[in-house]
Amino acid sequence: MLTASAYRISAASLPVSLQLSVLVTNPDGIPLEGATVTFSLTVPGIPPVAKEATTGSDGRATFTTTLPTGVTPGAGLATVVATTSEFGTASANKAITIVK
């Protein structure tokens, strides 16, 4: 499950910190430690941002970035891809909207 600290961000409030978090579980819902996750964020007006992380013992990984002045209003997308040797690859997306 992918979550963000905000899904709708005012361009007037920039720069602003945005945190993406993911919980990686097995098919039974048990958190998976050691999964490789790649976060990516695409919003209008700046190049895409990406970071790789590894889940902790609680199955969680986070990525924090600052959306700078220069981000323009429009629809963006946060994506996470999680990979484990036992269960393969899964992905999730969340819309991130920049408003005037």
Residue-wise pLDDT tens digits, 18-75: 999 999 999 999 999 999 999 999 999 999 999 999 999 999 999 999 999 999 999 9
Structural domain containing residue 95:
2-99
How many distinct structural domains can be found in the chain? 1
pLDDT score at 56: 98
pLDDT score at 69: 94
Check: CB of residue 50 under 8 Å from CB of residue 74: no
Q: How many CB atoms lie within 10 A of CB 74?
A: 12
CATH number of the domain to which 80 belongs: 2.60.40.3880
Spell 75-97 as b/e; 16+ CB within 10 A means b: ebebbbbbebeeeeeeeeebebe
Whole-angstrom distance, CA of residue 49 vs CA of residue 18: 12
Sign for the CA dihedral angle at 65, 66, 68, 72 comes to: positive
Terminal CA-CA length for the chain: 28
pLDDT score at 75: 98
pLDDT band at 95 (very low <50, low <70, confident <90, very high): very high
